[in-house]
A and B are shown apart, each in its own frame.
Chain A
Amino acid sequence: MWWEYITYFINATVLAAALRMATPLIFASMGGIFSERSGVINIGLEGMMLTGAFMGMLVTFYTNNPWVGLVGALLSGGIVGMVHAVAAVRYKVDQVVSGTAINIFAVGFTVFMLRTIFDVAGTSPAVPRIRTVALPVVRHIPVIGEIIGYQNPMVYMALILVVVVHIFLFHTVWGLRLRAVGEHPKAADTVGINVFLTRYIAVITSGALAGLGGAYLSIAHLSRFGDEMTAGRGFIALAAMIFGKWTPFGALGAAMLFGFADAVQMRLQEVGIPRHFVQMIPYILTMVALAGFIGRATPPKSIGKPYEKE
C-alpha cells in the first residue's frame, strides 16, 4: 500500500518531468554561480531569462532555425548581463537595484517588442522548436532510460553544462581566480588579478547562460513566447543556487528538487495536499538554508560590494 503511494509520486515519469522542469533553472543557476562567485549579486536572472526567451523566439521566427535562435538568446542574455556589469562594476550602482531595474525592464521590453513587431498581445506566433531526441542506447536501460532516454537536447546540454562549470570553477586557473575575486578582491588584486575584468566576464557569462535558460522555455519546451513566461523561474534559480551553496552540483540537486516539487504538485493535489504549499517549498527551503538550520549557506564574502582601488 505505502509502496504504491511512493511509486505514485516517485516514478520515472515524474522524474523525467522533474528534469524538464529543472532544465531552465539549471541554466540560470549556473549563470547565477558565475556572477555571484565573482562577487556580483544577480537578482536580474529573471529579466535575463525573459529577454533570452523572447529573443530566442524572435531570432527563430526570422531564421526558422531554433538553433540560431538559441545563439540569439545567448547573445541577448549576455548583453543584458553586460548592462548589469557596467552598472555594478563601473558605476558602482547598488547591485540589487540594478538587478531589479533589469527585471522590470525585461518585462516592459519583451511585451513592448512583441506588440510592436507582431501586433499581438499575450503570445507570439508559433515558431519551430528544438525537438526532443531519443538517446540510442541509454533509452533502453530500465528506469534511467525512461528518465533521461527521451528528452530535449537542451536538457542534455544543461547536464553537461553543470559538469563543465564544475570543472571550470574548481580545476582551472580562471576558476580559481574567479573564486578569489569573489571572496577577497583585494587579495586577488595584490597578486595581480584584474578584478574588474574578471567581474565583467563573469556577469556577462551569467546573463548568457540565463538567456539560454529562458530560450528553453520559448523554443524547446514550447514553441512560442508568452508575456512574462518565465514566471519567477529566475528567482527559483537564484534560490537553487543558494540552496546548492553556490556550487554547480549543489545547484543541480536543488534545481532537481524544485523541479520535482513542480512535477509532483498536481499528483499531490489529487490526494488533498494543496499544490500551492508544495510550490512554496523552494522558497522556504532557501530561507531555512540561509538561516543556517540545515548547514549554513554562506555567500561569497565580497558579494554586493563594489571594488575600489585605493
Chain B
Amino acid sequence: MRRVEKTRVTALQRREARVRRRCSRPQAARPKHLHTFGESAVENILELSHITKRFPGVIANDDISLGIRRGEIHALVGENGSGKSTLMSIVYGLYRADTGEISFKGAPVQIGEPRTAIELGLGMVFQHFMLVDTLTVAENVILHAEPHSWGFVDYKRAVKAVEELATAYGLRVDARARVADISVGQEQRVEILKALYRQAEVLILDEPTAVLTPQETEELFQVMNNLREQGTTIVFITHKIKEVLAISDRVSVLRRGKLVGTRNTAETGQRELAEMMVGREVLLRVKKEPAKPAETVASVAGLQVRDRRGMPAVKDVSLEVRRGEVLGIAGVEGNGQQELVEAITGLTAPEEGLVLLHGKPIQGLSPMKIKRRGVSYIPEDRHKRGLILEYSVADNLILGLHSDPPFVERYLFRNDRQIKAHAARLVESYDVRPPNPDQIIRTLSGGNQQKVVVAREFSRDPEFLVCSQPTRGLDIGAIEFIHQEIIRQRDQGTGVLLVSAELDEILSLSDRIAVMFDGRIVAVLTIEEADEQRLGYLMLGGDPQQATGELESGVTAK
C-alpha cells in the first residue's frame, strides 16, 4: 500500500511537470506521423499480433494483427458485433485473449487488468462512463492518484491540475461541478481528463460520438486534434464513415471478428470503406413470392420518443405498414429503433405523435391492451424481455396470454390442461427441442429459446407483428426457420415491421426498407431500389441525395 502511494505521487509530479512544460511551450513539435508516413520508418507504439478471442458460440476476434503508430489517430470501424470493442477491451485488460500477443513500445506485455494498462500508459474511455456521480469532476479525475499531504486531499491542487490539463487540451469542463450535474458531453471530457491525468500515451475512445450532439462531436474532434498535436496516440472506435474521414490518419476495418484491412485515410473513401464493412457474403435468401400488400394495418405519425436518459431518441418518425408486407427498418443499432419499437408496443410512452392500428390510436395504452388488439412483438433481448428463464417452456408460451381464456378459468385459476395442450401443440409445430413443455427454459439453447418466443407471438394470429433483431445470436438452421415463419406470417396477411442490424436479414425479408439514422427515417426504398452498398451508406449517415446519385450513375448495376 505504502509503496503504491509513493509511485502515485511521483507519477503525479511527473504529470504536473509535463503539463507545465507543454503550457510554456505553445509551439509543440510537429507530430511525428506527418514526417514519416512511409511504411518502413514508422514506430508502432502498440502492436497486436494474432489476437483471437472466443465467447460461447462466437469468435469475437479471429487472428487479428494490428499496429498502432505513435502519434496517429487510428480509426477502428465495423458494424455492431464486428469485434472492435472486444479487441480494445483486451488491450485494456478487461478481457483476456485466448491466443495472441500484445506489445507496447516494442516490448511484449501482459495486461491482466485495467490497473496494468493504466500503469503502462493506456487510457480507455468506455461507452458507459466509469464516473462517480456524486463526486466532483476534479475528484473523479484524481481518484486513487490524489494530490495530498498527510492523507488530506489537496483539493486546490487537484482543481488546479485538472484546470491546467483541461486548458492545455481544450477540454471545457468545470472542475468543481458534480458529475451528476453535467452533460453527457462533459462527462466524456472528464473521462478523457482521467486518462490524461494518468499520463495516458495511448487513448482508446469507444464510440465516443454515439452519445454526443453534432456540436459536441465537433468539439471532441478539436480535442482529438489537440491531443494528436501534443503527441498522444488515439484509437478511435466508430461506425460512422464520415467521422473516420474527418479525423483519422489511418483506418482499420473489422468484419465478423476479422480484420478486413487497414488504409491510409487520405487514400480511401466512403465507398471503399462501406464495402469493406458490409462485405459481399453469400446471402441466405428466403424463398418467397412477391408481396401482395393490401390496406394499411398500422401506422406511426410524427412520433417523438425520449430514451431513458431523457434525450430525444425518435425524432418525428412517420411510417406505414400494410397487410401482407414486411417493412424492414435498417440502421446501425442505437439510432432510435429500440425506442421506436417500445413506443409502438406500449413499453414506453411516446412524447408526441400517433401510433394507429386500423386507424385507431393505441399510443400510451398498456402493453397488455396493445397485445389484445392484435399486436405481437418479438423483443430484441429475449433474456431481458422475451422470456422468464426460470419458467418452463409451457409457462413461457403463455406470457402475455396468461390472463386470457382458455388459460384461465373463472377469472383466476390457471387451466393447466389447456396450458399443457397449447404448449404441446406449439413445441411440435415449431420444433422446439427438447420437445418437453415442462423443461425450464434456461436449459434450452438460444435457438430453441427464440423459437419459443416466436411460437408464442406468431401463434396468436397477429394483425401486426413487430420483430426486433429476431435472429440475433442464432445458428443458421434457426435463422432459416425463423425467416420462413416471418414470410409465412406475411403471406397470411399480417403486417410485419422488422428491425434488424443485419443487412442480410433486412434484404432477404423486406418488401420495403426504411433506413433509420439518428432517430429519423432518412429514406424509404423499395426492395428493388435497395442493395447492401446503398443501405450501408445510408445507415452510416450518408447523404440520401448522393446515394440516389450513385444509384443513377449505374454504380450498382452489376
Contacts and interface: CB of A to CB of B under 8 A. Distances in A.
B168 interface: no
B152 A171 contact: yes
Centre residue among B132, B139, B140 by max chain A CB count within 10 A: B132
A179 B198 CA distance: 21
B425 interface: no
Interface in B1-45: 4
A192 B115 contact: yes
Interface stretch (A122-130, A139-147, A180-188): A180-188
Centre residue among A174, A179, A180, A190 by max chain B CB count within 10 A: A190
A211 B328 CA distance: 65
A305 to B, nearest CB: 15
Contacts of A191: 114-115, 118, 130, 143-145, 194, 198
Contacts of B132: 179-180, 183-184, 187-188
B133 interface: yes
A173 B150 CA distance: 9
A176 B94 CA distance: 24
A233 interface: no
Interface string A296-310: 000001000000001
B151 A174 contact: yes
B399 interface: no
Interface in B130-150: 130-135, 139-140, 143-146, 148
A173 B146 contact: yes
A177 B133 contact: no
Contacts of B130: 184, 186-187, 190-191
B144 A188 contact: yes
The number of chain A residues touching the other chain, given as a range, is 20 to 34
A39 to B, nearest CB: 12
Given A183-B133, A192-B114, A310-B95, 10 more contacts: A171-B152, A172-B148, A172-B151, A176-B135, A176-B139, A180-B135, A187-B130, A187-B143, A190-B115, A191-B145
A193 interface: yes
A176 B143 contact: yes
Contacts of A177: 143-144
B153 interface: yes
A301 B133 contact: yes
Interface of B: 4, 94-95, 114-115, 118, 130-135, 139-140, 143-146, 148, 151-153, 194, 198
Contacts of A189: 114
A188 B198 CA distance: 14
Given A172-B151, A173-B153, A176-B139, A187 B131 contact: yes
B55 to A, nearest CB: 12
B134 A183 contact: yes
Nearest to A167: B152
A282 B284 CA distance: 67
Nearest to A186: B130
Contact of A179 (B4, B114, B134, B151): B134
Contacts of B198: 191
B432 to A, nearest CB: 32
A65 to B, nearest CB: 32
Contacts of B145: 191
Nearest to B114: A190
Given A191-B118, A191-B194, A192-B115, A176 B133 contact: no
A176 B139 CA distance: 8
Interface string A153-173: 000000000000000000111
Centre residue among A171, A172, A173, A191 by max chain B CB count within 10 A: A173
Contacts of A173: 146, 148, 151-153
A310 B95 CA distance: 8
Given A177-B144, A188-B144, A172 B118 contact: no
13 contacts: A171-B152, A172-B151, A172-B153, A176-B139, A177-B144, A179-B134, A186-B130, A187-B132, A191-B114, A191-B115, A191-B198, A192-B118, A193-B143
A180 B114 CA distance: 17
Given A190-B114, A192-B118, A176 B134 contact: no
Contact of B146 (A176, A179, A186): A176
A173 B143 CA distance: 8
Centre residue among B114, B134, B146, B198 by max chain A CB count within 10 A: B134
Nearest to A309: B113
Nearest to B198: A191
A187 B142 CA distance: 12
Nearest to A172: B151
B416 to A, nearest CB: 33
B489 to A, nearest CB: 40
Contacts of B114: 189-192
A173 B140 CA distance: 12
A179 B153 CA distance: 14
Contacts of B133: 183-184, 301
Centre residue among A179, A188, A192 by max chain B CB count within 10 A: A192
A215 B513 CA distance: 74
B144 A179 contact: no
Contacts of A190: 114-115, 118, 130
A183 B140 CA distance: 12
Nearest to B139: A176
Contacts of A186: 130
A308 to B, nearest CB: 14
A301 B133 CA distance: 9
B120 to A, nearest CB: 13
B161 to A, nearest CB: 15
Interface string A212-247: 000000000000000000000000000000000000
Contacts of A192: 4, 114-115, 118, 144
Contacts of A179: 132, 134-135
B375 to A, nearest CB: 36
Nearest to A302: B132
A193 B139 CA distance: 14
A301 B131 CA distance: 12
B111 to A, nearest CB: 13
